[in-house]
Structure 1
Amino acid sequence: MDITIEVISKVVDHLKPNDRISIITFNSEARVIQPMKKLSALNIEQLKHYLSIIHADGGTNMSAGIDCSALVFENVLPEANDDYDNRILFLTDAQPNQGSLDGTSFHSCIESLAKQRIYTTFVGVGVDLNTQSISLITKHRGANYFSVHHSKKFLKLLDKNFDLIMTPLVFNAEMKFQSDLFDIEHVYGSPECDQLKQGECIKINTLFPSRTDSNEQTRGGVVLLKLKTKQPITNTLNTAGRFSVTYEDRLGTKYEEKQSIDINIKNEINYANSGIRKAILLMNYVTLLKHWINHDREHKYNEKKTFLNLKETNIDQLSPWERKSTELIVSKQYQEQLDAFLIYFKSEMEYIQDKDLEQEVKLLTKLIEYEN
């Protein structure tokens, strides 16, 4: 809780005198700590003092928190204009155990707020973040989410990257792919990939900017397309693929761009850049881990289950959104697969020259050496 208070204090430092701020806490019920006011009208030191005495207790009633946030904005909206955006910064473990637990009213409130250009950023705090709940929440316009497990990442997110996570770049981004010789077999990296129609490769409600470093390199999201041929190809070495992108800006103005590319279909592995190579590496990494989790848990519970939909016995009477950790299981079969994959991973990491991939190496090594 201490690091949360420290980070929120730094968020206040990012605001300008004409920006408005309100602070709400919630457990079993919501409470307004600071009504909505311009920063210039507040005693900042006194506000930070109020923040410093906040402590965690009670349950988690997320519906109360979002409903209270909506009420706070009611008196502000008449003053809103195109120069300002409104955003709720919602800090939670995303495991509600009080109030409305079916999520219907909660999602309805977020959707209603988005229509008024009041958007929401969710920050999941702690390792118990319920990813299913957050994934549903962020399908709403203007919403985004982040998961933080330690103070350093928390501080970097809400201090150094404050402007990036609070400022949407475009809305309703859609990309379509057309080709006479190829169909899309699978899409990796698009949150709506399971609901895409043939030819659609991206459908994202909101896109946010990413920071570019001094070497003009950007760490951001990548969408990978796996293509399959519609029919056997013998003599054709290249074929054209046509991409079209549509999106709208924060004021609702719509744009469209089109581009054609030549796809080389020789049986050679070729990476256009190290970013694509890293994306493919991480896609293979995540796919293997998902297969391991499903296989070993299915074996333990002797029942077929899908990823993140595991029906362990609810002996603690948890709410539908609460989760409890389970015993780690790594079968010999998957330890061997992970060991073989680690060799490939290390060779790719050396080529890409990205030291941050060392955290994945440590995890793979731990799983390989784990004694059940």
Structure 2
Amino acid sequence: MGRTQQTACISDGGRTRRQVAAFEAYDSSFYAHYFPAQRTSTEILLPSFGVAKTVNPLEDNVEYWLSMNLNSCFDGPGIRLNDVGLDLVLTLDVSGSMGDRFEGEPGKTKLQIAQQSLLTLLKQLSPNDSLGIVLFNGTPRVLHPMEKFSSIDQEKLKEEILSLRAGGGTEISKAVQCATELNDQGNGREKRSRRIFFLTDMEVSHNDGREFLKHIQENAEKKQIWSTVVGVGLDLGTEVIQTVSRTIGCNYSNVRNARTFDQLMKTQFPYTVTPVGFHIQLNLVGDRYRLGQGYGSPEVYQYEQPIQQRQSIELVTEFALAMNEQNEVRGGYLLFQIIDQNKNSNTHEPLKMKTSWKTLQGSTESNEQEIQFSEQINSYTHAGIRKALLLVRYTKFVKRYLIVRRASATPDIMEEYQTMRRQFPRLVKYFQEEMILLNDRSLYEEEYRHLIDIAQKDDLPLDQNLLPNQTLALFNDSAIESAHSTTDHPNRCCICLTNDSSMILSPCAHQCLCKDCAQQPLSKCPLCREEITSITEQFQHL
């Protein structure tokens, strides 16, 4: 969805002070990881789905889940093949508050970080793009008029940017008007993308902020000038996040430190400015299934209790996504709990989805698919939904645990706290098993280490085999390493790497062993670590 970590704010005397929002962790935890994607070279937007039927490891009840991600020919390397050109106005906040200390990097001000970020943005532009720059405090001014990027003296522009100093009040609503007028002077070609990039700490009055957001919405709806709001030094507030998220073609980000933002822009910039569809609606066809809680975006997460059962959801904008070498994407992954209206039925009806959306040209397109839940427990369509579900269960538990741990010691809170302490080792064990099965070290570096840190700090008893050294040793298991070293020879036995694999393991159905290696005393599949109940030989037809 083209978004990074999100925050909420509470009004405080016309200014804003910020606190973590309810949906923050789910969206940012998804964005921090890669998920498998479906490559397409022709479709501007292509929905893909997965389902899971699992037992909740902490509550022992059966749950049904649906994953959704939207693929595009602009994803990954496709962004270079389908370049449409960009008219960009960079709008930099130089008000007095930007001279305050930047907490992410000691010794630097917010303006210094914003200057570095702006210079990073300049490096991402193509020669045929057009660029203009607006500065603002109490009054906006044009630092550089709209001009084709290849014609700009970049060294001179860099000197001008680095010479800027913070001072004065803040009128961001005037800045967006100035930036809009400047963008109107761009290339003017109909198919080009038009965008205003704001770098600001959003230390503005309530009315000025409201007027700013109103202008952003009008630009998107009437002019197809889209906006990106980058929070520098402070997390963006709830009203900014929700308004920007619900405005077509618009997105937001936060700068936590210059290095991270540099990396983000180097890998994500062309995708951040490339919307591929608007008003995407997912509808469940029929009466049996409904959408419960959603994760991965503030547009689908319900922060009000009780959770409403929905037959449809809408995403305002979908952006192109960067890909790694394994055709995996970061962000853009959604997960929904599915409510079965007929729990007592012995059979599962197919889950039927109809997805419709508006193209950039204003026409409507649609896609219909159906997918069947397995009769088996703990079944997943693919690794993506398994990983997303693991992250949701981790985040949901840890978030609640930390709240309860800090809460006043009422009898109800104490009872809940003791229950969660007993559940904590089960969560760690579940997370370790899933992480090793997925063979995903990124889950270890962030989430698993966090679990271990909490357990050690709170003196929670864990089995020795759950500790970091023992867990890392599981990643180095020779069978797993062998399995992943056979990528270029998919029919080779994953143990001896010599003979062809001809033996099929049940119930996982992996064909990964030769006849000789299958004689070894194996209890679990070397690829997925599911318990082996039987092994049969796959005979080759001549």
- Structure 1 residue 209: Cα displacement: 1.5
Find the counterpart in structure 1 of residue 219 from structure 2.
Answer: 113
Find the counterpart in structure 2 of residue 272 from structure 1.
Answer: 381
- Structure 1 residue 32: Cα displacement: 2.5
Find the counterpart in structure 2 of residue 204 from structure 1.
Answer: 315
1:172 aligns with 2:279: yes
Aligned partners of 1:120 and 1:47: how far apart in 2? 23
Judge conservation of contact 2:116–2:258 (CA < 8 Å) in 1.
Answer: no
What TM-score results when the alignment is normalised by the length of structure 1? Answer: 0.79
Aligned partners of 1:89 and 1:291: how far apart in 2? 36
**What is the percent sequence identity of the aligned residues?**
27
Find the counterpart in structure 1 of residue 195 from structure 2.
Answer: 87
2:314 aligned counterpart, secondary structure: strand
Q: Deviations over 1:100-155 (max 9, x none)?
A: 35x43122101111020110112233464435532332211101122332333211
Q: Does 39-48 or 358-367 show the bigger shift?
A: 358-367
Aligned partners of 1:138 and 1:334: how far apart in 2? 34
Which amino acid is the alignment partner of residue 87 of structure 1? R
1:133 aligns with 2:244: no
Distance 1:348 1:58, change over 3 A: farther
Q: Deviations over 1:194-242 (max 9, x none)?
A: 4987310x41111011122222233332222212222343432x31221
1:86 aligned counterpart, secondary structure: strand
What TM-score results when the alignment is normalised by the length of structure 2? Answer: 0.56
Which amino acid is the alignment partner of residue 325 of structure 2? S
User: 1:353 aligned to 432, 439, 443, which one?
Assistant: 439
Distance 1:298 1:22, change over 3 A: farther
User: 2:296 aligned to 171, 176, 189, which one?
Assistant: 189
Question: Higher relative contact order by CA 8 Å / sep ≥ 6: 1 or 2?
Answer: 2
Distance 1:336 1:60, change over 3 A: farther
Distance 1:128 1:254, change over 3 A: closer
User: 2:333 aligned to 222, 235, 238, which one?
Assistant: 222
1:51 aligned counterpart, secondary structure: helix
Aligned partners of 2:405 and 2:174: how far apart in 1? 38
Distance 1:23 1:276, change over 3 A: same
Aligned partners of 1:11 and 1:190: how far apart in 2? 25
Aligned partners of 1:334 and 1:97: how far apart in 2? 41
Distance 1:349 1:39, change over 3 A: same
- Structure 1 residue 169: Cα displacement: 1.4
2:284 aligned counterpart, secondary structure: strand
Judge conservation of contact 1:172–1:247 (CA < 8 Å) in 2.
Answer: yes
Judge conservation of contact 1:335–1:368 (CA < 8 Å) in 2.
Answer: no
1:13 aligns with 2:158: no
- Structure 1 residue 15: Cα displacement: 2.4
Give 1:270-309 correspondences, 5 Å limit: 270-292=379-401, 294-295=403-404, 299=408
Unaligned runs of 5+ in 2: 1-110, 411-416, 459-542
Aligned partners of 2:239 and 2:373: how far apart in 1? 36
Find the counterpart in structure 2 of residue 152 from structure 1.
Answer: 259
User: 2:173 aligned to 63, 72, 86, which one?
Assistant: 63
2:373 aligned counterpart, secondary structure: strand
Judge conservation of contact 1:82–1:251 (CA < 8 Å) in 2.
Answer: no
Q: Does 4-13 or 162-171 show the bigger shift?
A: 4-13
Judge conservation of contact 2:292–2:309 (CA < 8 Å) in 1.
Answer: no
User: 1:100 aligned to 202, 207, 215, which one?
Assistant: 207
Aligned partners of 1:57 and 1:275: how far apart in 2? 48
Distance 1:297 1:136, change over 3 A: farther
- Structure 1 residue 192: Cα displacement: 2.6
Aligned partners of 1:15 and 1:256: how far apart in 2? 33
Aligned partners of 1:216 and 1:283: how far apart in 2? 23
Q: Report how many residues are paired.
A: 336
User: 1:243 aligned to 341, 350, 353, which one?
Assistant: 353
Aligned partners of 2:166 and 2:434: how far apart in 1? 44
Aligned partners of 2:405 and 2:136: how far apart in 1? 38
Which amino acid is the alignment partner of residue 179 of structure 1? G
Judge conservation of contact 1:29–1:61 (CA < 8 Å) in 2.
Answer: yes
Q: Deviations over 1:16-50 (max 9, x none)?
A: 34422112233444332222222244221111111
- Structure 1 residue 270: Cα displacement: 1.0
Aligned partners of 2:402 and 2:170: how far apart in 1? 28
Aligned partners of 2:406 and 2:138: how far apart in 1? 34
- Structure 1 residue 91: Cα displacement: 1.8
1:142 aligned counterpart, secondary structure: coil
Distance 1:38 1:353, change over 3 A: same
Aligned partners of 1:188 and 1:135: how far apart in 2? 15
Aligned partners of 1:130 and 1:22: how far apart in 2? 27
Which amino acid is the alignment partner of residue 362 of structure 1? R
Distance 1:190 1:161, change over 3 A: closer
Which amino acid is the alignment partner of residue 198 of structure 2? F
Distance 1:293 1:59, change over 3 A: farther
Judge conservation of contact 1:62–1:99 (CA < 8 Å) in 2.
Answer: no
Distance 1:45 1:187, change over 3 A: same
Aligned partners of 1:337 and 1:124: how far apart in 2? 37
Distance 1:333 1:241, change over 3 A: closer
1:343 aligns with 2:414: no
Aligned partners of 1:67 and 1:339: how far apart in 2? 55
Aligned partners of 1:56 and 1:339: how far apart in 2? 51
2:390 aligned counterpart, secondary structure: helix
